[in-house]
Structure 1
């Protein structure tokens, strides 16, 4: 008997519930996070070149004299300090040369003392007019020759003394031994490279540029550097040095790229990639997941950096790639674009910008 009344009771209950909810109070919606990115130059407009992090100063170290290596005190990869001994030559030959020079100095000084005494006696005899002027001039010339000989032998002794010090090869600056090319017992010539030192200080990236495209590069050109240890993060750099001649084996031109910020955490030997932008106007690109469309009109969601609200931005796009789509018009390189979940967004919606690691992003223009 109560069944016919149920259909009437349920609608009244729903009406009451709806009226209770519609009491004029708006339900506060939570601000949803949105992963944002900035447009990057299109991949086809940027060339990438592999490289290696090197020290800006890499002097080749060598002995200033030749000889047999008696001690090798460091190895590759060793950290050294300025004036630290790195290797030593057999000192016996230098010791004998130094002793010989010392003996020659003693002999020259003895001869000078003798001719000096003769000169004094001849001066006395000349004053008494007991000898001729020509006889005195002969003794005077002998004295001058003796004095010059002493100067010469003393200079040769100083050279031998310096060479004795050259038997020890020392580090010219703080740094790391990048390579070693000598072993104990090896005979080396003067100037032959023994070690290569990677001096502390600025770090650079060494790359090889192709021969057919060398005209596209110039010293001072702006590039971007990405370290393999920090994927996705690019650092500003510039081409500091460009080899004027190609390598005879690889037929490539060596170039050194300096970081604009000297505090980049780059370690020696790290792998890196250098991105060089093509000449002319370069289109931007965004992730494929950032693009959506309505009535065949593609658009992206751009976040207002002042209010963190969304704005629909129509764009003109180029051919798709696997992960990116080039944007030919409609975006600037300092815009912040939502990269995921674009189908559930709406105009004017407030969002909380985050990066791919879910870290809060401060919306600011690129420097």
Structure 2
């Protein structure tokens, strides 16, 4: 009897456990096939596309000169240092010129004596009270010849020219560079004393491929960016020279005058040059909208909640966008994020975002 009661209790316990398991299965949620991927979408708008040509360039001062003395001697004084800004006409340095200075003084004294003699000659000729314009030209010439005034003037001018050759002046305003000479050094007329760079006008020299020449013209605007561009600094310029020769590498030399004010560029600095030109009859999409599938370029669109796989033909690109020749159209809703692992006809949850222009 005891054994029968035990079997009954075990059976009841087994039934209760089975009922509890069945109830758990009934209340647990049914599993979805997969959660729909979240994507961001944009509507393609009709807009212009600017193709970009990127080239490496070098900044050059539009006005730069190697300064030399017109004569040779020992350097007596230097008024400048590298990096100093000077104005046109400023004296940069002197050569040892004491002897030449003495010659100028002697010539000045000789002229003053000749002018005193000229006064006496005018008295002798009876024209002392007349202005020189009122004196007969032949008489005036004879008077000056006898007084020695004209000769003294010529000697003084010649001595001043020789003296001025020992003084180096700035031919234009700019910044001093490559100054290696020291006081006491002997320098000749063939030696470069320093280089003067005008940073008022700078230009950039660069080269483009022969096939890109059709997109370039005089006065076309360019963007110039230093390689160490930590603050996203950009300057503008205009193409002012196109060399009509193609070198052995198929490249064409171009120069652009930098038009921005207050530039922080230096002669010899390496920069990036960007040239924009429009491409017509294309659809513009952000770069993140394009992915590769089977080694082909694809843009996903959304139609009734399903992703659609579209092969596209790219006509060009710039730093942020692609120009699409065919495959998608203006007004299509394209996927711009969440498309890296997306498949065709996948159901997606989409969020419309605006493009940052």
2:22 is matched with: 8
**The structure with more radius of gyration:** 2
| Paired residue secondary structure (1:363) | coil
Displacement of 1:271 = 0.9
Distance 1:197 1:337 in 2: 56
Displacement of 1:141 = 6.2
Distance 2:310 2:274 in 1: 29
Displacement of 1:188 = 0.9
Q: Is 1:228 matched with 2:224?
A: no
Distance 1:348 1:327 in 2: 23
Structure number with the higher strand fraction is: 2
Displacement of 1:256 = 2.5
1:195 is matched with: 194
Q: Is the 8 A contact 2:50 2:278 kept in 1?
A: no
Q: Is 1:328 matched with 2:329?
A: no
* CA shift in 2, pair 1:122/1:349, >3 Å: closer
* CA shift in 2, pair 1:203/1:140, >3 Å: closer
Q: Is 1:112 matched with 2:118?
A: yes
2:98 is matched with: 92
Distance 2:278 2:116 in 1: 78
1:188-244 residue CA offsets vs partner (Å, 9 max, x unmatched): 16xx86433222334321235789998986532344434311399875532123468
Distance 1:337 1:240 in 2: 43
Q: Is 1:55 matched with 2:57?
A: no
Q: Is the 8 A contact 1:122 1:139 kept in 2?
A: no
* CA shift in 2, pair 1:242/1:338, >3 Å: same
Distance 1:14 1:174 in 2: 86
Aligned residue among 78, 84, 89 for 2:83: 78
TM-score (norm 1): 0.57
* CA shift in 2, pair 1:210/1:327, >3 Å: closer
Displacement of 1:3 = 0.9
TM-score (norm 2): 0.59
2:10 is matched with: none
Distance 1:243 1:69 in 2: 44
Distance 2:128 2:202 in 1: 72
* CA shift in 2, pair 1:117/1:258, >3 Å: closer
Distance 1:72 1:282 in 2: 64
Q: Is 1:349 matched with 2:346?
A: no
Structure-to-structure mapping, 1:1-367, within 5 angstroms: 1=13, 2-11=16-25, 13-14=27-28, 48-63=54-69, 65-70=70-75, 71-74=77-80, 77-82=82-87, 84-120=90-126, 142-146=142-146, 149-150=148-149, 153-154=152-153, 157=156, 160-161=159-160, 164-165=163-164, 167-172=166-171, 175-180=174-179, 184-188=185-189, 194-207=193-206, 218-230=217-229, 236-242=236-242, 255-263=254-262, 265-275=264-274, 287=287, 290-291=290-291, 298-299=298-299, 316-318=312-314, 327-329=324-326, 330=328, 338=336, 342-343=340-341, 346=348, 348-351=350-353, 363-364=356-357
1:302-361 residue CA offsets vs partner (Å, 9 max, x unmatched): 9xxxxxxxx98956225999x9987434589xxx9847755469575145x8xxxxxxxx
* CA shift in 2, pair 1:205/1:141, >3 Å: closer
| Paired residue secondary structure (1:53) | strand
Unaligned runs of 5+ in 1: 19-29, 124-136, 303-310, 354-361
* Number of residue equivalences: 307
